[in-house]
Amino acid sequence: MNELPTDFDAIFSSPLSRCKLLAENFSHKIVYDNRLMELNFGDWEGKNWNDINQSELHEWMENYITIAPSSGESLIDLLNRFSDFITEVKLKKYKKILIVTHAGIIKCAMNLFNNIAVDKIMMEKVNFAGIYKFNTHLK
């Protein structure tokens, strides 16, 4: 946390506990937004890979970009969710914001801001508690 500036116009966080706990170290004025949550695995949440129907799992693994787990979301759904968040935040004309979120959202930011192709972003390494700075405009 010592690497981060403290002069944010706003702080946004996923409402999930691991992000909330970290965000609360920066401020008590945090905007929690469901659009910053990790990819929704739907009916697969909390299950071991071996406990998921293997044909459904194989189909998803072959095209997780557009296919969603039952009651979950695809990578494109996640990307669209994050893009909607960014579009809304940009209307506020903030100069600097802090977003406390998950690896999937950080990878979506790599697509939106660093032009990393959607079929390549899941291969990008995201460090636990890593700090990622994005200074470019939405495509």
| pLDDT at residue 136, rounded to an integer | 58
| pLDDT at residue 95, rounded to an integer | 87
| pLDDT at residue 27, rounded to an integer | 86
Tell me whether residue 34 is in a domain: yes
Q: What percentage of the chain reaches a pLDDT higher than 90?
A: 78
| pLDDT at residue 26, rounded to an integer | 86
Q: What is the pLDDT of residues 88-104, one digit of tens each?
A: 999 998 888 999 999 99
The answer on pLDDT for 1 being more than 90 is: no
Q: How many domains does the chain have?
A: 1
| pLDDT at residue 93, rounded to an integer | 84
Tell me whether residue 131 is in a domain: yes
Between 95 and 67, residue with greater pLDDT: 67
The answer on pLDDT for 44 being more than 60 is: yes
Q: What is the pLDDT of residues 113-122, one digit of tens each?
A: 999 999 999 9
Tell me whether residue 19 is in a domain: yes
For residue 89, what are the domain limits?
A: 1-44+71-139
| pLDDT at residue 138, rounded to an integer | 46
Tell me whether residue 2 is in a domain: yes
| pLDDT at residue 55, rounded to an integer | 94
DSSP characters over the chain: -TTS-S--SEEEE-SSHHHHHHHTTT-S-EEE-GGGSPP--GGGTT--GGGS-HHHHHHHHH-TTT---TTS--HHHHHHHHHHHHHHHHTTT-S-EEEE--HHHHHHHHHHHH---TTTGGGS---TT------SPP-
**Domain containing residue 129: CATH number:** 3.40.50.1240
The answer on pLDDT for 35 being more than 70 is: yes
Tell me whether residue 49 is in a domain: no
Tell me whether residue 54 is in a domain: no
| pLDDT at residue 2, rounded to an integer | 58
| pLDDT at residue 137, rounded to an integer | 56
Tell me whether residue 66 is in a domain: no
Tell me whether residue 60 is in a domain: no
